[in-house]
Chains A and B, each alone.
Chain A
């Protein structure tokens, strides 16, 4: 039961925040992280289109591999919060955690007058409060 990492992707598909909390996944260069975030942004859009039933479908919310899973929270503004966890984590706990991360984001990042929206996040307050939340 572990949380491996967090990504925050802006509405254009660019990675604005990336943090690893526990080992378990491969170490990637920052460039590789950027590429993966962009790919995930595209996949999220396509999965919304592939729904076999009529009506709206959201994009992918959970993507499972064998040793980890990706949980996606798409906010109303188009920002995506991606949490990488072990597969055993219960979905309800992860949803609650993602909402708390979103709250932290809106408090420490969006309410910071020196932060430009859609730009990479460089906020010590966000980092420390995130560390306190996830541990």
Chain B
């Protein structure tokens, strides 16, 4: 069972989030605490602007993937139009499982990942990467690209190492729809990397893989 995917860029900001099986929604970030284009699910509630269509929120079926940034929330039974917009959901959001706003949760995740990475490097004496850690309730997998992007996935504890899947996400949808996309500003401090193709590409890849229940 996957829980969520998070991607964190070099500036330690979350640029993408996608969840599949999360039983409780993450709390929306406070205004200004999160970049736009990260995820509809956790973007701070704002006034409805003049966008053409409004997507109404159904409850998300799955939340998996812990990518740092919640870039998009996949809704299975939503009545939304094909393209999700950066709109805050009109319905109230249930309390998050951690009790934290999303942007704070991301900072915690990033802090844990960074500290663990330094610790493992110190302990082994070689330039070694931390791969994953497991608690009684979840398992966090990390893949770091050479360019400094960190791909983080949360799954249930009995899953084998998902590092290969994260690497496939990097080599596949990420390179195709984000790096090679002239409209997406990489390394941006203002925007995340949510776009339709990337989201569906990641979704398809994860749902098609063997460990997804």
Contact = CB atoms under 8 A, between A and B. Distances in A.
B131 A36 contact: no
A105 interface: no
B180 interface: no
Contacts of A51: 97-98, 135, 137-138
Given A25-B125, A26-B125, A65 B130 contact: yes
Interface string A24-59: 011110001000100110110011111111111111
Grouping DSSP codes into helix (H, G, I), strand (E, B) and loop, the A interface class, with mixed when no group exceeds half, is loop
B122 A36 contact: yes
Interface in A56-105: 56-68, 84
Max count, chain B CB within 10 A of own CB: residue among A46, A47, A55, A65: A65
Nearest to A24: B124
B178 interface: no
B137 A53 contact: yes
Nearest to B129: A66
Given A52-B22, A53-B97, A67 B137 contact: no
A46 B114 CA distance: 13
Interface string B16-45: 000100111000000000000000000000
B132 A64 contact: yes
Contact of B115 (A28, A43, A55): A43
Interface in B60-119: 63, 66, 97-98, 100, 105, 108-109, 111-112, 115-116, 118-119
A61 B134 contact: yes
A59 B112 CA distance: 12
A43 to B, nearest CB: 6
Contacts of B132: 63-64
A42 B114 CA distance: 13
Given A26-B125, A43-B115, A53 B133 contact: no
27 contacts: A26-B125, A43-B112, A43-B116, A43-B119, A47-B140, A49-B98, A50-B112, A50-B138, A50-B140, A51-B98, A52-B19, A52-B22, A52-B63, A54-B23, A58-B135, A58-B136, A60-B135, A61-B136, A62-B134, A63-B120, A63-B130, A63-B132, A63-B134, A64-B131, A64-B133, A65-B131, A68-B124
8 closest cross-chain pairs (CB), A and B: A26-B125, A57-B137, A58-B136, A63-B133, A65-B120, A54-B97, A51-B137, A64-B131
Interface of B: 3-4, 19, 22-24, 63, 66, 97-98, 100, 105, 108-109, 111-112, 115-116, 118-120, 122-126, 128-138, 140, 154, 161
Interface of A: 25-28, 32, 36, 39-40, 42-43, 46-68, 84
Given A36-B122, A52-B154, 14 more contacts: A27-B125, A28-B123, A40-B119, A47-B133, A48-B135, A49-B100, A53-B23, A53-B138, A58-B135, A60-B133, A63-B130, A64-B131, A66-B131, A84-B123
